[in-house]
Structure 1
Amino acid sequence: MTRVAVVGCGSIGTRHIGNLLSLGVSDIIALDPDSGRRDCIHQQFGVKTCEDEEMVWNYRPDVVLITTPPKLHLELAISAARHGCHFFVEKPLSDRVEGQDELVEICQSRSLITMVGCNMRFHFGPSNVKRLVSEGVIGRPISASLDAGQYMPDWHPDQDYRKRYSAQSRLGGGVILDGIHELDYARWLFGEVAEIFCHGGKLSRLEIDVEDSANILMIFKTGISAMVHIDYIQRFYSRSCKVIGEEGTISWDIHGALKFFTAKTGKWEVVEPPAKYTINDMYVEEMRHFLSCVEQDEATISGVEDASKVTRMALAARKSMLNREKVLL
């Protein structure tokens, strides 16, 4: 039976603990320095809790889930790797380039199974956009637009948004790293990126010290271009994707179905989500995939080497925004 340590018991750590239990993983210890969070986790799930990292390693876990603020991701991932643990780390892999190569080398030398959170790849929408593109339904892709945004104070109305890691540069916040999902699945759809240009910054009246809006133009090595918009501002939660091909168009919106138009049929066709589909389904499938890869000793869909490339894309976008110039990758 797999022994799992979850490091960080905020909202996403709590979600993963619940999903681990639903997938039959019961040997769990949860680490958080906040006693209130530890008490809530123990009361809600009945799992063991601890308050410092040394107690985690004494527990000798097979697998570690790292669900802390981004500033701590890389340090904890390196520590897990050095202890010989397979690990899942939430996105982004890091808020800096330094140390990523070291992590990749340790994981490769120890043949560790790793995964960086990429839950949108497991969502009904983007996963079917990927399928349709791969099947050539719209011919050769030419361009795409991806959008994601939601007013930060609405994420967790019972909490002070100013205290969230997303709102603080010292914790690795900012919409470019926080909204890395769109960059990740754009690369998943179209391959490696050749150049990036980003315009954005702190544009709203939110009381945060990080960028809250970014428009990122990505030029892929295949010649495809994609415009990614991400923000902390939209009062109505938005997430969508449109791909234009030589023979048709794919359109997806998180509040509706996925549809595609082809020149061959001359009409739109709709792909409906499964009955009773919920947002948590993608997190369950993401964790199921990771645990299966650990059990089968197979590479995951987004290991640290792959995720490092996406993180470098995001950091290049931030550099472009600050310097107001194109960045070559």
Structure 2
Amino acid sequence: MRVLLLGTGSIGRRHARNLRALDATCDFVVVRSGARRDEYTDSLGATVVPDLQQGLTCEPDVAVVATPSAVHARSLIPTLDAGLPVYVEKPVVTRVGDMADVAEALERRTISAPTMAGCNLRFLPSLGFVRDLVRSGALGRVVRAHFECGQWLPDWRETDYRQSYSANAEAGGGVLLDLIHEFDACRWILGEVRAVAAAADQLSGLEIDTEDVAVALLRGEAGTLVSVGLDYVARRRIRRYEFVGTDGTAVWDFAASRVLVNGVPTQALPTDAFDVGATYVSAMREFLECAAVGSPTSQEISQALGSTALALRCKELAEPWQ
């Protein structure tokens, strides 16, 4: 298998490791300006090419787009037009115009090659358990839900946070897009929602030019009221979802590695229920399996654009507050 790898930052390298673990024989074509080689590309044994068009001439079997989010469209659209199976990191894009361009590229595809967006939290067994609980009706009618995620940005980023895309609005940073997992999980568990209101600001004193805190109010098709709270500020990592139904309440608490149903920890979870590292492997395995037979994945880019649209709408609603 030949993989066209676009982006060799931390997430691109993670995907390369997982691809090699899933298929020890896979080889990589890496796009680098000036076809620049380094120790990393040498360790992969990669073919290095100066631009995407030359990469496509190498006849890759699949493409992985892990460039900075703000420039995803530059790589994503040509790979879609080439008919390749494509895995793209989240968020798919960071601008409304790019979202429309990607949607058009998907519509004009004549080859039924699968795509996948990297919202890997969907592969957490614990979150899947909660989704099944909600969708089975075990909680009754869900009237209210809350999704929150926060972490101190300097602790989150392995290198200088000020140089990360999270700190740079032009690169697609800011909590509303960077923490798009919460919007995606909301849609995955509850179904489609619409943005009612949002507020965002830069309040922490972090040396960034993006919003470091945001709150959004959403409403589901069945009337469910949903709140989303996001930040780069929490000194203790937070990722917690709560669902209040007419017959029960469920809480998914990632930091505590537990699911509470009516206040009682559930025991019906596998040992890897909160293993995020395993979700990247699971997602890539599904992508490769679907690519091999030409079947759709569980997270097609066309579906993921819905989460992008929701985050961008919240960003638009929040602008008067900034």
Taking structure 1 as the reference length, the TM-score comes to 0.89
Summarize deviations over 1:43-79 as a string: whole Å, max 9, x none: 2x44434443233122121211000111111121111
Tell whether 2:63 aligns with 1:58: no
Q: Secondary structure at the match of 2:130?
A: helix
Q: Which residue in the other structure is 2:150 paired with?
A: 149
Among 294, 300, 311, which residue is 1:303 paired with? Answer: 300
Alpha-carbon separation, structure 2, partners of 1:301 and 1:217? 27
Indicate the SS of the match to 1:208.
Answer: coil
The answer to whether 1:162 aligns with 2:173 is: no
Contact 1:4 1:29 in 2 (8 A): yes
Q: How many percent identity over aligned positions?
A: 34
In the aligned structure 1, how far is the partner of 2:164 from the partner of 2:35? 18
The residue that corresponds to 2:180 in the other structure is 180
Q: Give the match's secondary structure for 2:103.
A: helix
CA distance in 2, matches of 1:149, 1:287: 26
Query: Does the alignment pair 1:73 with 2:72?
Result: yes
Residue 267 to residue 201, structure 1, CA distance change in 2 (3 Å): closer
Which residue number corresponds to residue 5 of structure 2? 6
Whole-angstrom distance in 1 between the partners of 2:270 and 2:217: 29
Offset of residue 182 of structure 1: 0.3
Q: Number of residues paired by the alignment?
A: 319
Counterpart in the other structure of 2:222: 222
- Structural mapping, 1:222-261, within 5 Å: 222-261=222-261
The code of the aligned residue for 1:230 comes to: L
Q: Secondary structure at the match of 2:271?
A: coil
Q: Secondary structure of 1:9's match?
A: coil
Deviation, structure 1 residue 139: 1.7
- Equivalent residue for 2:212? 212
- Gap change, CA 1:259 and 1:37, over 3 Å in 2: farther
- TM-score with structure 2 setting the length: 0.91
| Partner Cα separation in structure 2 for residue 238 and residue 273 of structure 1 | 22
1:165 to 1:180, Cα distance in 2 relative to 1, 3 A: same
Counterpart pick for 2:276 among 250, 275, 279: 279
Instruction: List per-residue Cα deviations over 1:98-126 (Å, max 9, x = no partner).
Output: 14334233324323311111111112332
Instruction: Go from structure 1 to structure 2 and tell me whether the alpha carbon gap of 1:284 and 1:28 turns closer, same or farther (over 3 Å shift).
Output: same
- 8 Å Cα contact 2:114/2:297 also seen in 1: yes
Please say if 1:319 is aligned against 2:313. Answer: no
Give 1:268 shift: 5.1
2:86 is matched with 87
Equivalent-residue separation in structure 1 for 2:41 and 2:213 (angstroms): 34
Task: Decide whether the 8 Å contact of 2:36 with 2:50 is kept in 1.
Answer: no
- RMSD of aligned alpha carbons: 2.3
User: Which consecutive residues of structure 1, in runs of 5 or more, have no partner in the other structure?
Assistant: none
Give the letter for the 2:29 counterpart: I
Alpha-carbon distance between aligned partners in 2 of 1:218 and 1:175, rounded to the nearest angstrom? 16
Q: Which runs of 5+ in 2 are unaligned?
A: none
- 13-22 or 111-120: which moved more? 111-120
